[in-house]
Structure 1
């Protein structure tokens, strides 16, 4: 009904008057009454008082596809093994026929751009790009739903560089501006009293794709790089670099985890996708936990073979066995995102001029993960450290 006001010339019927109705008027009244009843019923259903809301109904529909991003790095081994061994695809298919499609990225900021643009639905990436996306969107873009790996990042340099102070006037690389290793390098340089401004800094930092970093280091055009695995191992074993800083030595376990443990890779999901398809997110998490369990239980040789096959598919080439073995030895596979360390990670980004101060409350949504972990009895519940649901 429109609720339109009557014309000025319309005859008004005062209370108590009941004029006789002609036949067509009776039928009109019946039709109008039925229309009103139908409209009221629809409104009642939409209000949630007698039926499900539109959002709830939509959330029941299986996702036709889940688009997942990850990197061709050993630090993304849960994604590599999850794809190679079919853990992710099988869980999604069983959930309701959801198809898994994948896209490979070089570093976190590029994956975040794809997430924010709706080009992918979930991604494995480093903690700092996840923090930056959350902060810049006012908490609306993504949720961290699980950890994936801890450890596996090093600052490697020319053998003659044996202390941080010797990095003055040197040229260093990181995978991408604002990425987790980029922030870690800048925080370390600050701790050594070194600046890194674009024009007059003590150290030049060139964000560079990992494969190009290896070539530039071999050609003598870089003095070092802060890299995730397997790239740190490649520079050591294939280009003669030495480890100047193992990032594990910078974490004493007081913020989260245990000494030497720091978050390298987490699993995040686009919030709109998660709200529309919670069952698909559950299935993704189940496959993710399956992959971590397999990595932790598989014989070393089988583990390395599957990860190397995943690297070949993602990056176009397998790695020498000694590189994969060294890289895997520096990494721990865990669903714990080590949430207690995230305020420090944010502050490191702020100090580097790459982030702004913010409240990280709501960044984590670990409730589904903890439900899956409890059902499988494979891992203790993980904490959001007061920064979200658990």
Structure 2
């Protein structure tokens, strides 16, 4: 009798163990992989808050993050189907959509995040951010103002050219634009290889800390009012295959936007972990998150009108071959569901 009871208990334990492993396997399988491409800027801060707070794991999302040096660099990844989600500038997404790549903007991340800074002789000019200032520098130095920004079609390049042509109205002969990655831009500016650059946070804070003589020439709103910046975009394939997970990611994005605005120091710790690379300290990120260049938003419709202004300019410049249908590009259904009472 005791022998039979012992065997029964062993069978029960074995069954429970098998069941435990089975449930564990089911839980692991339930997590949905989300391949996310991002550019290393504070404007994509929601991503690092979602990841750092553990919300993605709780929602059954396994975020697989890949860093890119610019938005245009992510387009080929989107086109090849190796990315599901995109945290980067709106400009490349318009290009992708116009080329027939199935991708939509489901949330904004920030507005007016782009700035222009100047250093050395150019930055020291009182009239640096004027057409007269550009001309005075070119006449004095015998060369144009050298400006670093990201590749053509990116938000930094587009907004810089818009500012130079429509706001400053500088003579094109007085400036020279050089395309490079985000980190290379910071290095070139600090090394004196260029006179000015378009930068976002945390680069703006880092540069100002390393060189207090760096001059902020223009904030995002001065370059283009309500300037559309980084966005959360999702591929059609991912949304079709995982509609509930896509909806959950947008809801978490909105939640992260609230935390960034209400608890910036808490958010800064997550951004430092995601972007600091063990080099940039927490205090820098705490300052960057509350910078005038950090205006976090989630509602995609906030940037729709300004995106049309940007798109029209890109068409004029030839960096966009044809216009994207903004009514199709923007989808606020998941955002509206997230904020519904």
What interval of TM-score do these two structures reach, taking the shorter chain for normalisation? 0.7 to 0.9
Match of 2:180 among 208, 211, 215: 208
Deviations 1:178-233 (A, max 9, x none): 2101100111121233465xxxx542111112222222222221000011211122
Cα 1:122–1:78 shift into 2, 3 Å: same
Q: Is 1:291 matched with 2:256? A: yes
Write out aligned runs for 1:73-222 (5 A): 73-91=41-59, 93=60, 98-137=61-100, 140-158=101-119, 159-161=123-125, 162-165=128-131, 166-167=133-134, 169-191=144-166, 192-194=168-170, 201-222=173-194
Task: State which of 297, 303, 310 in structure 2 corresponds to 1:345.
Answer: 310
Contact 1:135/1:360 (<8 A) preserved: no
Q: How far does residue 319 in structure 1 lie from its aligned partner after superposition?
A: 3.6
**Is 1:308–2:272 an aligned residue pair?**
yes
Q: Greater CA radius of gyration, 1 or 2?
A: 1
Structure that is richer in helix per residue? 2
**Per-residue deviation at 1:354?**
0.9
- CA drift at 1:118: 0.9
Taking a change above 3 Å as real, the CA distance of residues 157 and 126 of structure 1, as seen in their structure-2 partners, is same
Mark the runs of 5 or more structure 1 residues left unpaired by the alignment.
1-60, 253-260, 378-390
Q: Residues 195, 65 of structure 1: CA spacing in aligned structure 2 closer, same or farther, 3 A cutoff? A: farther
Q: Is the 8 A contact 1:217 1:223 kept in 2?
A: yes
Higher RCO (C-alpha 8 Å, min separation 6): 2
Aligned residues: 293
- The two structures have a TM-score, normalised by structure 2, of 0.79
The answer (yes or no) to whether the contact 1:237–1:323 under 8 Å persists in 2 is no
- Under a length normalisation based on structure 1, what TM-score does the superposition of the two structures give? 0.69
- Residues in 2 aligned to 1:224 and 1:111: alpha-carbon distance in whole angstroms: 25
1: CA distance, partners of 2:97 / 2:308: 13
Unaligned regions of 5+ residues in structure 2, if any? 1-28, 139-143
**Are the aligned partners of 1:187 and 1:352 in contact in 2 as well (CA < 8 Å)?**
no
Q: Does 362-371 or 165-174 show the bigger shift?
A: 165-174
User: Which whole-Å deviations, capped at 9, do the CAs of 1:18-55 have from their partners, x for residues lacking one?
Assistant: xxxxxxxxxxxxxxxxxxxxxxxxxxxxxxxxxxxxxx
Deviation at 1:357, TM superposition (A): 4.1
> What is the distance in 1 between the residues matched to 2:69 and 2:278?
13
Structure 1: 4+ residue segments shifted above 6 A: none
